[in-house]
Amino acid sequence: MEIRLGTRRSDLAIWQASHVADLIRGVEPAAEVRLVFVSSVGDKDRRSAFHQLGGIGAFTKESEDTLLRNEVDLVVHSLKDLPTKLQPGLVLAAVPKREDPRDAICGVTLSQLRPGLRVGTGSIRRKAQLLELCNGLDIRPIRGNVSPRLCKAKNRQGIDATLLAAAGLSRLGLLHEASQILDARVFPYAVGQGALAAEAREEDTALIALLQKIEDRQSRSEVDAERALMRSLDAGCSLPVGVSATWLAGTLTLRGQVTHPDGQRKITDESVGLADQADAIGRSLGHKLLQQGAEEILKAALRSVEEQRTI
């Protein structure tokens, strides 16, 4: 069985695609998995902020288009980049075991944050949550691959610190560069962060059946609940929504936080249910957050995004 696996060209994307390829070979030794490189809008434009690229789908749409054109059989994404609504004809076929979903700060620790400190991040969520912890930080937009961002923070090239996903650092053997792994109760992470998405065509039932063998049930339940929350809020991955999910004896607890872009207000709540009720857990949490005023905060975040797009 030959499988053409689409991936972006960054070191992290290649690691992730190769990891999924190895998982496939582990359950189907006869599988011949070949990487096919695809460029995304986010790869082609390294200067614009993420939300200026259109946010949702900036790193995934081209890969999905190659699937629909039958140029590849499967694409692997960082799940946090994947829109909650997939293109017609495509399915989230598998979610392998999730790595640590938390954020990592490099250059300083949270206790060392102070007004005027230059922190590089292109994430509206991270910016809002940082400002909530320390008003007066000098948040500077930064994008690009992991290593150059680390280098800028280490050498104080325009920034004193940066935030990255702990999972990405771990996958590249760079976790030692983190000054602190952030407690998700204090600094909730992005929806789907640390998880991988194996996306395929809905009609390819044999491939989907194979991919189900590499799926991790706990990871799938967590991300399904998180993505259901985002759908209920009608929020994209570029908006300031943070989550944390925990399992205990078959019960899933999903916590959510919506933070105003200026960091001056946040709304938090949680929903609990059986792990096989992930979608209902996410929708329930979304309803709770909306009742407390999350829509107003998300509208403010959207206005902030639109204003920055016109600069």
Catalytic residues: 80-81, 125-126, 143, 149, 237
**Structure letter (DSSP) for residue 189:** B
Strand partners, 199: 75, 92
Q: Return the amino acid letter for 248.
A: L
Rounded CA-CA distance 93/91 in Å is 5
Distance separating alpha carbons of residues 145 and 102, to the nearest angstrom:
18
Helix, strand and coil percent figures for the chain, each rounded to 5: 40, 25, 35
Residue 257's φ and ψ, nearest 5 degrees, are: -140, 130
Distance CA 235, CA 301 (A): 10
Report the alpha-carbon angle 22-24-26, nearest 5.
70
Beta-bridge mates of residue 78: 196
Distance CA 129, CA 14 (A): 30
Distances 169 to 143, 163, 173, 179, 272 between C-alpha atoms, Å = 15, 11, 6, 12, 30
Q: How far apart are CA 123 and CA 264, in angstroms?
A: 17
Residue pair 225/279 in contact (Cβ under 8 Å)? The answer is yes
Residue 165 tokens, joined: 């996903």
